[in-house]
Amino acid sequence: MADFRDFRWRRPDVALTPTWRLDSDMSPMWLFNCSEYEFRTIQQGALVPIFCSPLFIIVHDAILDFLHEHVGDQFTSHPVTIYDRPTQAYFPGYHRLYIKEKIDDIRKGLPTATGKKIWASAGFVFISLELKRAMEAADVKGVYYYPGLAFLG
């Protein structure tokens, strides 16, 4: 039986998790997909560098540049514009991300979390520990790392 006083049970994020969920560090605006290349705000929030939903993943240029450098072969993207109707402002510099490897059905087999990897699952972006460390070293702003899928390894 596990000892719940053990340090690992209180801090699951201490180098024991092979994957991490990547998200913004603030409450983002809610977006509506108007077309393939345009999104409209439907609820106010922060203009964050990453928007995740079950229907789309949108990242800012700074994150896209980092991802191209480290895992450029694991996704495709195209530019999109975010339109905020209340302020009538357009926010360019965002890209819709299409991550190639999905974690949808673990019965089909689990992907390996070694090396720099990125996955999509249920509207979330997951990254490997090695990619997380590279993002931290590059000081990518506006993102937060949550412990990810413990069953990958």
Check residue 1 and give its pLDDT.
40
pLDDT in tens, the chain (153 residues): 444 344 344 444 444 467 788 888 788 888 988 988 999 998 888 889 999 988 999 999 999 999 999 999 999 999 999 999 888 999 999 999 999 988 876 556 666 778 899 999 888 899 998 999 999 999 998 898 888 766 555
The Cα 80–Cα 139 span in angstroms is 24
Check residue 45 and give its pLDDT.
81
- Residue ranges of domains in the chain: 13-147
- DSSP labels for 79-113? EEEEEETTTTEEEEEEEEEEES-B---GGG-PPP-
Task: Give the length of the chain.
Answer: 153
